[in-house]
Amino acid sequence: MEQVPLPGSVVVADWHRCKDSKEYFSKILHKKRRKHFGLLESPVMPPHVSVDTVHYKIFISGKSGVGKSALAARLAGLNTPNMHYETTGIETTVVYWPVKLRESGRVLFFRLQLWDCGENALRRFDHLLPSCKEQVDAVLLLFSFTDRTSFDDLSNQIAKWSGTSQSRVVKLAIGTKFDLFMHCDVSERDVRDFQESCGLPVLRSGGEVSDGLGDVAPILNCLAENLWHQDCVTAGSASHRSQQETVTLL
């Protein structure tokens, strides 16, 4: 079972709706739409505002056609492709998202670099998956609510990230095409059973993009919360080991 924080226990949920967040979210918006950031670009805050940026690499995993590229576009505020096409190699997308830590009130900019690679490309070229896994911080395990086989494949996806080197990688499951309930092949009971057995958060994506914040906030806040929690756990373990080594030397 994965150790995950309770929702809203690490970061302030729905902070994008609070007045004190406007100064920060205005830096990732332009005319109420999301700004597009390249690899070398970042939000620029005024000199009197001190805010740190934390960097993370995120890999999007899932069967062909579940909506990996569409999810990356949605999280970045880009236009979602109208037609499905197989990603021919590795595509990266940069997402900036400000959060407020609940305990300290500290504000952080999360820089999330999303890595998306087509399933066929991963099969054809052996070097692509190791490149995607290298120094990765989190993996988004995608399935489609309209494709039962993609949901059944989640256990295989999890198994690929269960090695010792990936033990500290944050894992989140995301169901895409949630709005197409008329064609749903995955029930809410299936989702609950999966959560109970695997202990992974299951988030939902689908429908029209609204204001560019509200529709992606649940996913980005959950991802940021789990990443920061994992960093704190890792830092605490490292500190504990250091103290033990000091005692041993004494």
CA gap 15, 239 in Å, rounded: 31
Q: Indicate whether this model's pTM tops 0.75.
A: yes
Distance (Å, rounded) from C-alpha 89 to C-alpha 97? 26
How does pLDDT run across 153-183, given as a tens digit for each residue?
Answer: 999 888 888 765 666 899 999 999 887 767 7
In whole angstroms, give the CA distance from residue 186 to residue 150.
10
- Measure the CA–CA gap between 26 and 28, rounded to whole angstroms: 5
- Cα separation, 82 vs 70, in Å, equals 9
CA distance 118 to 178: 22
Return the pLDDT at 209: 59
Residue indicated by tokens 């990936």: 166
pLDDT above 50 for 42:
yes
pLDDT value of position 247: 46
pLDDT of 229 higher than 80: yes
* Bridge pairing between strands 170-176 and 202-204: parallel
Both structure tokens of 129? 């998956």
Q: Report pLDDT for 166.
A: 63
Locus of tokens 């190699």: 89
89: pLDDT strictly greater than 90: no
| Beta bridge partner(s), residue 111 | 55, 96
What torsion do the CA atoms of 22, 23, 25, 29 make, to the nearest 10 degrees? 110
Which two three-digit tokens encode residue 175? Answer: 């169901």
Query: Which tokens go with 209?
Result: 């993009």
Cα dihedral sign, 15-21-27-32: positive
Residue 214, pLDDT > 90, answer no
165 or 198: which carries more pLDDT confidence? 198
240 pLDDT band (50/70/90 cuts)?
A: very low
Q: What's the pLDDT band for 195 if we cut at 50, 70, 90?
A: very high
Contacts of 215 (CB under 8 A, 6+ apart): 74, 207, 208, 209
- State both tokens at 61: 């995993």
Mean pLDDT of the region 205-210: 69
Indicate the average pLDDT of the chain: 85
User: What 3-state DSSP class applies to 110?
Assistant: strand
Q: Measuring CA to CA, how many Å separate 34 from each of 23, 75, 79, 90, 95?
A: 14, 10, 11, 23, 10
Give the range among 11-25, 33-47, 203-217, 224-238 with minimum mean pLDDT: 203-217
CA 112/CA 98 separation, integer angstroms: 11
Token digits for 248? 């041993």
10's tokens: 């690490």
